Structure formats: C-alpha cells, structure tokens
Structure 1
Amino acid sequence: MPSARFTRDDLLGAADKLLPDVIAPGLNVLLCGINPGLWSAASGHHFARPGNRFWPALHLSGFTPRQLRPDEQHLLPGWGLGITNLAARASARADELTRTELTAGADILKAKVAQFAPRWLAVLGVTAYRTAFGVVKAKVGPQDLDALAPTRLWILPNPSGLNAHYQLADLAHEFARLRTAAVGQESSAGGS
C-alpha cells in the first residue's frame, strides 16, 4: 500500500488526536516513541511519516524478517514487539510537548509496563527520556531503573529524520544492540 498523501489541513486536523497502542501482555520489547507526529495521527499508524527511519531500522537490526509498512504495525506482537508513546497527544514536533506532559507520560508508561509486563521497554529518544524520568545523564543503551523491574530499560535514539546525529546504519546498529540483549534474555528465561 503506497503511503497516504495528506494536505496541510489534514495534518493540522490531526493535532491532538490520539493513536492507539500496539500492545499485548508479555511482549519481548515494548518500543516507546515520544509522541505521535501529525502524519501518524492522520494515518492512524505509528512512525508513518515518510522519512522516519523506525521501520527500516527495526528490520535492518533483525527484529523483523522484512521491512514493514506502518499499516502493518498490527503484525508486531507476533514477533514479540509492541509500540506505545510517552505522550499521547499528536504534534508537529516532539519539542512542542511540555515537561508536564512528559513527566505525566512517564507515570502512565510505568503503569502500562506494570500491566503488560514486557521483558524490555525501549524509549526512542534520550532527551525525552531524561525529561520524563528526571535522569539528566542518561545515555543511549541499557539503563538501571528499578522502578520498572522486572522489565529492563533501554534507550534508543529517536528515529525521526530530524535526528541528524544518527544515520540509518547507526540507528540499525543501536536497535541491533537491544535485539541482542533481548534475545539473550529470552533464551535464558526459556532455559531456566
């Protein structure tokens, strides 16, 4: 299915729309975006804006056997994956969110983690994570956060095309590091 074309009015009309989670109990990895962009809210699919590198990075890292389209997000739980967001409100840019929205989102996220018990939570965006969880020196990679135990926490770079610090190969490498850790944990959990 080719990507949808939206007018400026379509996108502006998507502001503040909510995008449902793709979530199920016991996922291996729950991927957590910052918030839906207007393109995602208008389409009803996570990471839907053309140029967003989430879907290519997910595939290149080995999480999925092929590159999925955003409208195939419903297939993710079959591979032990899900998607949620720190803040539910759609906006043109993540920097439009307030500190209050992000910290409230962290509390909601902790409740989702407690309810659905994924093995790993991967927050996609170190700056948003630092604000939401109040951990100013957090870096990309595994984190020590007992508040989510037994769920482990990993921070991934934001896959938005606006994040110029990471090219697609770099993103895929970081996603693959998480996949290696998550698969290792899954193997050891199955063997005990």
Structure 2
Amino acid sequence: MHLPDGLIPLWQAAIYWILTVAVLALYMYKLSKTEEKEKIIVNTAILAAVTIVASSISIPSPFGVPIHLFIIPLVVILLGPLSGVTVAFLCFLVQFLFLGMGGITSLGANVVTMGIVMSFSTYYFYKFTKELDDRLSIFSGTFMGIIMATITQVVILLIAGVATLEVLMATLVPFYLFVGVIEGIINVFIILSIFKLKPELAKVEQI
C-alpha cells in the first residue's frame, strides 16, 4: 500500500503532508499533557521498531503479490490512535530512507491512509465492539481499519487520476480484504496473549 513518489501531483501531496503534520502536532500536544509521558514514549519507540521490522517482511499470498502486515492496528489497540499515527510516520520514514519503500513526497499520503484513517478507524471499531467480545473487537478493529485505509487510498488515487475506479476496486480491494482477515486473526492471538501475560498493558494510558 506504500505509494511511491511521482503518482500524486505535488499540490495534492502537500495537502496530505499538512494533514500529517497537524495530527503529529496534536500527538505532541496530548503527550505533553499526560503524566505517563516517559512510559508512552518508551512503548511507542518499542512498537515503532517492531512495526518497521515486521511490516518490511514479505509473506507469500495466493494472489501472487506478497503480503506486508501493517501492525498499525495492533499499535492502536495497545497505545491509542495518535500513537498509531506517530508510529506509522516513523515507520514509513525509516522504510523510505533505508529500504526504498514508498517516497518522500508521497509520505504524507501514506500516513493519511495507513496512519490517520487506519488508526482512527481501528480505534473506534475496536471501542464500539469491545463490550460485545474481546476477540470480535480486536478482529473488527483490525479488519475495518485496513478496509477503511484501502478505501481512502482508492479515493486518493482517483483524485490523482492514476487509474479508474473499476481498476482500483478490482486490484486493491480483494487483496486487502484478504490481508484484513489474516491480520485480524493474527492480532486476536497476539493481543489476547499480551493482555494475558502482561495485564498491566491493558491499562496503559492511550493517546
């Protein structure tokens, strides 16, 4: 889902960068107001490192295109949506600089899709279903976060005039439906295991 440089007109890329900077500024403001600042910074740094490594690993898929897990929904469920956006930004920046994934002008658009939209969609779907069942809430949060990010990327590419709606729906949506199911199942096992082994993490302040 990493968009490279050159796909999006610069004026559109600038808008996505402005949105990204605004949300990162909100994160810094919220962080400055919390009493658990150091703990949040440490947890965010650890999960950012995990996300950079884990999301860079290619996993074979039946579609013939390798899967890269997002990890962002896991970060959101543990640390909150603004932390998810921050981890996404750090991850995409490092992956661009050292792995050649994505781009610098397109980084804002990538953060909007896989950072802002994915994080807040995951968070609210997770919270909405949390009272029903833990497994359902983790799966639905992860799945819907990925689907909403996919829809957002389709819209961004349509606005940029890169491809038609029919082509984007036929190529992106089926693949990321599959990814959403796989990552949703994985997150159920990982997050429930984390909460079982480290129950205090379920009570960490989120931002």
TM over 0.5: no
More strand by share: 1
More helix by share: 2
Larger radius of gyration: 2
